[in-house]
Amino acid sequence: MAMTCVHSLRIPTTKLSPLLSESPSSSSSVKPRSISYTAKMQGNEIREETTAETGGAGGKKKVFVAGATGSTGKRIVDQLLAKGYAVKAGVRDLEKGKASLPRDYSDLEIVKADVTDGAEKLAEVIGIDTDAVVCATGFRPGFDLFAPWKVDNFGTVNLVEACRKRGVNRFVLISSILVNGAAMGQLFNPAYIFLNVFGLTLIAKLQAEQHIRKSGINYTIVRPGGLRNDPPSGNIVMEPEDTLYEGSISRDQVAEVAVEALIRPEASYKVVEIVARADAPKRSFEDLFGSIEQR
């Protein structure tokens, strides 16, 4: 039998979540925010659930998700909505967005956003009411050899600059393990070679990461291993940057890490690499993010 206990905490914004505490564009940023922790007993295991939902004025925190029609982006949108956030889903094609994203949420707004359109346009789309941005874009393979550079580098840089224009101070990027493969001695790793042969994809991502890290914005860069669509089949392993060079993870877990990064203060200004392993112990997100040092 599962037991559930919920604690509602009211706390000063500066103590808790980077998303909740650092949203200068939000009219309610100086007011206390509330967050609820739910602990469920399942057998001997305590499952931790955190829901961050309301601003001081009662409004929900709003997250802009770029690449919301993507296999990971969609999951991030779903999980944010389930956690009680309002979501602005950035899509290139509105019809595709409407068809692939949930219909029955009043807290979901689908907006047209191509990250190659430039920071000015993106800032307009992000608007004045966004508290955080999650970037889950990735170039779609095609004939344009420069697509990885346009999307995974310039596009992400545009998004960061749009955040600066709008005073959005929380950014979560879905990047990839091995982006810094050359420096890790993985120059001849087949995955490193393969992904760079197609438009220097990993190098494009690494440079975008560097832009975020210099931007002053509170970031969490999530570098997953190979992405799988199937449900989680192991526990999350989280390591510091430039550590993992193999392994895979369910997109559901990547989305969970991205959403938890918005909630957990331990995730601020960090780069984390993640895969899933059946033999890894189950750890809380507080512990996972807390074990990674800021650099």
Ligand X SMILES: NC(=O)c1ccc[n+]([C@@H]2O[C@H](COP(=O)([O-])OP(=O)(O)OC[C@H]3O[C@@H](n4cnc5c(N)ncnc54)[C@H](OP(=O)(O)O)[C@@H]3O)[C@@H](O)[C@H]2O)c1
Which positions touch ligand X (CB under 6 A)? 66-67, 69-73, 92-93, 96, 114-116, 136-140, 151, 155, 174, 176, 224, 226-227, 251
| DSSP-derived 3-state class of residue 119 | helix
Q: Please, what is the minimum distance in Å from the beta carbon of residue 77 to ligand X?
A: 10
Q: Please, what is the minimum distance in Å from the beta carbon of residue 63 to ligand X?
A: 15
- Amino acid identity of residue 268, one-letter, is S
Question: Which residue reads 């197609």 in tokens?
Answer: 198
**Residue with the CB atom nearest ligand X in the bound state:** 70
Task: State which residue, 131 or 209, has the beta carbon closest to ligand X.
Answer: 209
Q: Please, what is the minimum distance in Å from the beta carbon of residue 198 to ligand X?
A: 11
Q: Please, what is the minimum distance in Å from the beta carbon of residue 37 to ligand X?
A: 29
Task: State which residue, 35 or 76, has the beta carbon closest to ligand X.
Answer: 76
Q: Please, what is the minimum distance in Å from the beta carbon of residue 272 to ligand X?
A: 13
Task: State which residue, 16 or 222, has the beta carbon closest to ligand X.
Answer: 222
Task: State which residue, 144 or 287, has the beta carbon closest to ligand X.
Answer: 144
Task: State which residue, 84 or 102, has the beta carbon closest to ligand X.
Answer: 102
Q: What is the DSSP string of 153-194?
A: IIIHHHHHHHHHHHT--EEEEE--TTTTTTTTT-TT-HHHHH
How far is it, in rounded angstroms, from Cα 263 to Cα 257? 10
Q: Please, what is the minimum distance in Å from the beta carbon of residue 43 to ligand X?
A: 33
Structure token pair of residue 98: 């409407």
Task: State which residue, 15 or 140, has the beta carbon closest to ligand X.
Answer: 140
Task: State which residue, 115 or 236, has the beta carbon closest to ligand X.
Answer: 115
Q: Please, what is the minimum distance in Å from the beta carbon of residue 6 to ligand X?
A: 32
| DSSP-derived 3-state class of residue 237 | strand
How far is it, in rounded angstroms, from Cα 268 to Cα 162? 20
Closest to 6 (Cα-Cα) out of 61, 42, 43, 50:
50
Q: Please, what is the minimum distance in Å from the beta carbon of residue 202 to ligand X?
A: 9
How far is it, in rounded angstroms, from Cα 123 to Cα 158? 9
- How many C-beta neighbours within 10 Å does residue 185 have? 10
- How many C-beta neighbours within 10 Å does residue 25 have? 17
- Amino acid identity of residue 238, one-letter, is M
How far is it, in rounded angstroms, from Cα 190 to Cα 233? 25
The b/e string for 150-166 (b: 16+ C-beta within 10 A; e otherwise) is bbbbbbbbbbbbbbeeb
Task: State which residue, 20 or 162, has the beta carbon closest to ligand X.
Answer: 162
- Amino acid identity of residue 96, one-letter, is K
